[in-house]
Amino acid sequence: MTYVVGYGPRGDDRSAVDLAFQFARSRPAPVVAVSVVPQGWGTPVAAGVDREYEQWAAAEGRQSAQLATADFAHHPGLAAEAVWVAGRSVPAALIDQAMARDAALIVVGSAEEAEPGRVRLTSKTDRLVHSSPLPVAIAPRSYRTTSRVTRVTVGFRDDDGSWSLLDRVAGIARASAARVRLVTFLVDPARRPVTTDVSHAQAQVIDAWMTRAVAAQAEAVAHLRTLGFADDEIEHGISAGPQWHAAVASVGWAEGDILVVGSSSTHRLAQVFLGSSASKILRNAPVPVVVVPGAGA
């Protein structure tokens, strides 16, 4: 088993490397930083130019591997390797490397334009998230840590996808000796004046939804107990707010937390589709996010 890191040197942002080593401290396995450089054309007509292009790409790959090795120095005593490969598609090359190296997951960083401490997908990582058969972990911009994973929070919706995800999260938490936290997010849209019938009906719907969510979480907690989790290893709650930012922030986050979200269970390509709720949670998360593909992946 390994942890494969999609490594692209971007200034001082070694966030993906730090996150990979966080997983390695929790469940020991080598970290492999993979830099993907452009692949040459490979046509006889462009042989001379192609050779020069390949030489340039190889030099870029070697330099990137050297920078990754320098980043490893922040995490002494943990097994790590830096490699580079040529490929026409960065996501496809990372998936190939992850499958060949028996990776538990693929780890990437956030976009350069992301605010420090926030998760943002690039066009490449967006394609990776929607095509990888393995979980993909995304580090917030400028993420730094020397801790292990201590708590795994799962966004729980009480649908088929959430129940399948819960079992996979339980496996992640058990392997990492981490606690599990179930959170159901409720974003309450702005209500109309209380004098209208619509507002009253909306309040009734929200109250009924809350009642159902509480019952579903109790059922999920009972299920975790059957998997061997003790009561002090399980947390659960409902987080409500007028916007996604407020709902996600009000949960309370600490060093060692990671958040796990799953794909949409209603989309015809559920195994590779990140639903709208999961996307909003991801964009507002202040901790690393692991996107787990559906069971059909």
Q: Is the pLDDT of residue 88 over 80?
A: yes
Residue 293: pLDDT band by 50, 70, 90 thresholds?
A: confident
| 133 Cβ contact list (under 8 Å, min separation 6) | 95, 99, 293, 297
Query: Distance (Å, rounded) from C-alpha 34 to C-alpha 84?
Result: 5
Find, among 37, 38, 35, 39, the residue nearest to 8 by Cα.
35
Strands 257-262 vs 2-6: parallel, antiparallel or unpaired: unpaired
Query: Distance (Å, rounded) from C-alpha 88 to C-alpha 289?
Result: 27
Strand locations in 116-169, DSSP E?
A: 136-138, 151-155
Radius of gyration (Cα) for the chain, nearest Å? 21
HSE (side-chain half, CA atoms, 13 Å) at 60? 16
Q: Is the pLDDT of residue 296 over 80?
A: no
Tokens linked to 280: 């909003």
pLDDT for position 3:
98
pLDDT for position 208:
75
| 107 three-state secondary structure | strand
Give pLDDT tens digits for 92-130.
999 999 999 999 999 999 999 899 999 999 999 999 998
Give pLDDT tens digits for 28-46.
999 999 999 998 665 555 5
Tokens linked to 192: 């109309």
Residue 200: pLDDT band by 50, 70, 90 thresholds?
A: low
Tell me the backbone φ, ψ of residue 57, rounded to 5 degrees.
Answer: -60, -40
pLDDT for position 46:
54
Contact present, 90 and 33 (Cβ < 8 Å): no
CB-count exposure of residue 228 (10 Å: 0-12, 13-18, 19+):
exposed
Strands 136-138 vs 289-292: parallel, antiparallel or unpaired: antiparallel
Q: Rounded to two decimals, what is the model's pTM? A: 0.86
Mean pLDDT along residues 144-156: 94
pLDDT for position 269:
36
Contact present, 21 and 31 (Cβ < 8 Å): yes
CB-count exposure of residue 259 (10 Å: 0-12, 13-18, 19+):
buried
Amino acid of residue 263: S
Query: Distance (Å, rounded) from C-alpha 211 to C-alpha 220?
Result: 14
Domains in the chain with CATH codes? 2-138 (3.40.50.620), 151-292 (3.40.50.620)
Measured at the CA of 125, the angle between CA 135 and CA 100, to 5 degrees, comes to 50
State the helix-helix crossing angle for 197-226 and 160-176, rounded to 10 degrees.
40
Contact present, 156 and 259 (Cβ < 8 Å): no
Q: Phi-psi category of 267—alpha, beta or left, where left has phi over 0 and alpha has psi -120 to 50?
A: beta
Query: Distance (Å, rounded) from C-alpha 263 to C-alpha 81?
Result: 31
| 189 three-state secondary structure | coil
Q: Is the pLDDT of residue 191 over 90?
A: no
